[in-house]
Amino acid sequence: MSDPRSKQAREVLGRTEPFERATQICNLEVMAQINGRERSQRADFVNAEATAPVQIRDSDIEAAGAAYRSRDKWFRLRFTCKLNRAGDEVVDIRFTPGAPIPRRDWEKYSLMIDDHPMHD
């Protein structure tokens, strides 16, 4: 998020409700981390609440039921994210990418294709 190319994203996030802002900051960071660590993956979207609600305690976010999209497939994801006191910067993030989510389950979890919800 500190990259100058992220200026527009930071401005938009600055106008969102605190819960949503915190979740989106963590989503963006975990997506960047996946792309930096998992060479075969190109994550382009993270849904922190795909299969379970996000838990927030103070500046800690736990997303046990997250998912990420890579190369038109969805994968399970679990992450914990700690923000600074202001809630605008990630100070620690830990994540575990998981198994692919079967396409038949995408609609059930409101996962998207091409940034639109999937409908058969």
Q: Which two tokens stand for residue 66?
A: 């997250």
Is residue 21 domain-resident?
yes
Q: What is the pLDDT of residues 71-97, one digit of tens each?
A: 999 999 999 999 999 888 999 999 999
Note whether residue 116 is domain-resident: no
In a domain, 64, yes or no: yes
The total of other beta-carbon atoms located within 10 Å of residue 26's CB is 27
pLDDT at 88: 84
Q: Is residue 57 part of a domain?
A: yes
At 112, the pLDDT band (50, 70, 90 cuts) reads: confident
Q: Say if residue 1's pLDDT is above 60.
A: no
Tens digit of each residue's pLDDT (9 = 90 or more) over 4-60: 545 555 555 555 677 888 899 999 999 999 998 877 889 999 999 999 999 999 889
Residue 119 located in a structural domain: no
How much is the pLDDT for 11? 57
User: Is residue 118 situated within a structural domain?
Assistant: no
What does the pLDDT average to over 61-69?
A: 97
Cα gap 77→75, rounded to integer Å: 6
Give domain status of residue 115, yes or no. no
Residue 118's pLDDT band (boundaries 50, 70, 90)?
very low
Nearest to 54 by CA among 43, 68, 36, 66: 66
- Give me the number of domains the chain comprises: 1
Q: 71 lies in a domain?
A: yes
Please give the pLDDT value at position 41. Answer: 83
Range of the domain at 31: 4-110
pTM of the model: 0.81
